[in-house]
């Protein structure tokens, strides 16, 4: 009783707020996928989403299927691609063999990326490309950089930056030939954060941000709209978050971001409204690490 009295006195003198735990579950996740955010303006368009077997990429693929797109998801693991397709078909009534397909894409191999993307654009009029594939290592998570090996550094740069540049340049050139399209690069708030200035991940995402601005300027007036989203902490496996985790703590919103929220923003930015957003980098972080 005496200890409780001391605690009460401390609370009365401090700015004290009790945070109610918020748990991520299917019901909460589904709430962000049910309503169109573009009013049907994406219906019938063909979209390539890289790194779409889980996390943000998977959520974007699901969102675009719901908006009426034909979606091609890419990844470098056949089994994971097959699992993602099965799950998308289970979750979305619009996912079927006509609207959903896969592209095996090893983004560590520049020549393989070039051949795969060239082949895809030769057979399908892709007008949306979402560059989402990324790698976030343990040392990035701990904001380490002095102990990063050359191999670790280039592994991150190759996937996060080099492949994004290559795919975007190939896609932009093709899109300009047949009427335009949208390229949306998923960067990160780490590209702005001092904590990650020297980590491979932070450097790579800063590069994505600057590249987005430069590519957008290069295709000004040619119908190719290039933008980027820079998410903060998102509830994904790469960020060490899982379903049913308590995600209420250590964030300005009292919960970290859901992949489905980023997916809704992505759809919004490639819909009709994107005609007024060119070369933009939208921070989706609720002031986290800014």
Q: Which domains does the chain have, with CATH numbers?
A: 38-284 (3.40.50.720)
Over residues 119-135, the pLDDT tens digits come to 999 999 999 999 998 76
CA distance 164 to 187: 10
**Phi-psi region for residue 63, left (φ > 0), alpha (ψ -120 to 50) or beta?**
alpha
Residue 154: per-residue pLDDT: 78
**Phi-psi region for residue 287, left (φ > 0), alpha (ψ -120 to 50) or beta?**
left
Query: Half-sphere exposure of 119 toward its Cβ, with a 13 Å CA cutoff?
Result: 9
Q: Average of pLDDT values for 189-193?
A: 66
Q: Is the Cβ–Cβ distance between 239 and 233 less than 8 Å?
A: yes
Q: Is the Cβ–Cβ distance between 252 and 183 less than 8 Å?
A: no
pLDDT band (50, 70, 90) for residue 12: low
Q: Which residue(s) pair with 130 in the sheet?
A: 49, 184
Task: Select the more confidently predicted residue: 99 or 284.
Answer: 99
CA dihedral for 282, 285, 287, 288, sign (positive or negative): negative
Q: Average of pLDDT values for 25-34?
A: 65
Instruction: Write out the E strands in 5-143.
Output: 46-49, 70-75, 100-104, 128-131
CA distance 261 to 73: 19
Cβ neighbours around 34 below 10 Å, total? 8
Q: Dmax of the chain from CA atoms?
A: 77
Q: Which residue(s) pair with 226 in the sheet?
A: 183
Over residues 47-91, the pLDDT tens digits come to 999 999 999 999 999 999 999 999 999 999 999 999 999 999 999
Residue 243: per-residue pLDDT: 47
Sheet holding 128-131, edge to edge: 100-104, 70-75, 46-49, 128-131, 181-186, 224-231, 281-284
* 224-to-171, 253, 277 alpha-carbon distances in Å: 9, 34, 11
Residue 258: per-residue pLDDT: 82
Strand 181-186 and strand 281-284: the pairing is unpaired
> Which two tokens mark 108?
């560590």
Q: Average of pLDDT values for 43-49?
A: 97
Task: Select the more confidently predicted residue: 22 or 238.
Answer: 22
CA distance 117 to 167: 7
Torsion of CA 52, 54, 55, 61, to 10 degrees: 40
Instruction: Write out the E strands in the chain.
Output: 46-49, 70-75, 100-104, 128-131, 181-186, 224-231, 281-284
pLDDT at residue 176 greater than cutoff 50: yes
Q: Average of pLDDT values for 149-174?
A: 89
Task: Select the more confidently predicted residue: 202 or 268.
Answer: 268
pLDDT at residue 38 greater than cutoff 80: yes
* 283-to-39, 154, 262 alpha-carbon distances in Å: 23, 26, 10
Cβ neighbours around 86 below 10 Å, total? 11
> Which two tokens mark 144?
């380490």
CA distance 113 to 126: 16
């Amino acid at each position: 009783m005496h200890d409780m009295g001391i605690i009460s006195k401390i609370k009365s003198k401090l700015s004290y707020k009790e945070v109610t735990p918020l748990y991520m579950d299917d019901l909460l996740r589904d709430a962000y996928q049910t309503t169109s955010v573009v009013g049907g303006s994406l219906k019938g368009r063909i979209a390539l989403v890289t790194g779409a077997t889980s996390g943000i990429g998977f959520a974007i693929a699901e969102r675009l299927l719901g908006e009426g797109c034909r979606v091609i998801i890419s990844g470098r693991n056949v089994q994971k691609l097959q699992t993602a397709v099965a799950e998308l078909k289970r979750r979305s009534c619009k996912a079927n063999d006509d609207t959903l397909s896969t592209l095996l894409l090893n983004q560590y191999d520049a020549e393989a990326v070039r051949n795969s993307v060239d082949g895809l654009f030769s057979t399908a009029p892709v007008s949306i490309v979402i560059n989402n594939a990324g790698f976030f290592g343990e040392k990035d998570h701990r904001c380490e950089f002095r102990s990063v090996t050359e191999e670790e550094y280039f592994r991150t740069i190759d996937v996060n930056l080099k492949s994004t540049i290559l795919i975007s340049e190939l896609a932009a050139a093709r899109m300009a030939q047949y009427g335009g399209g949208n390229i949306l690069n998923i960067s990160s708030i780490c590209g702005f954060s001092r904590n990650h200035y020297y980590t491979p991940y932070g450097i790579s995402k800063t590069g994505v941000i600057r590249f987005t601005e430069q590519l957008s300027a290069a295709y000004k007036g040619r119908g190719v709209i290039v933008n980027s989203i820079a998410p903060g902490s998102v509830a994904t496996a790469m960020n060490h978050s899982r379903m049913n985790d308590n995600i209420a703590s250590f964030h300005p919103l009292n919960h970290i971001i859901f992949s489905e929220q980023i997916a809704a923003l992505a759809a919004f930015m490639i819909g009709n409204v994107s005609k007024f957003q060119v070369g933009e980098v939208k921070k989706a972080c609720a002031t986290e690490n800014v």
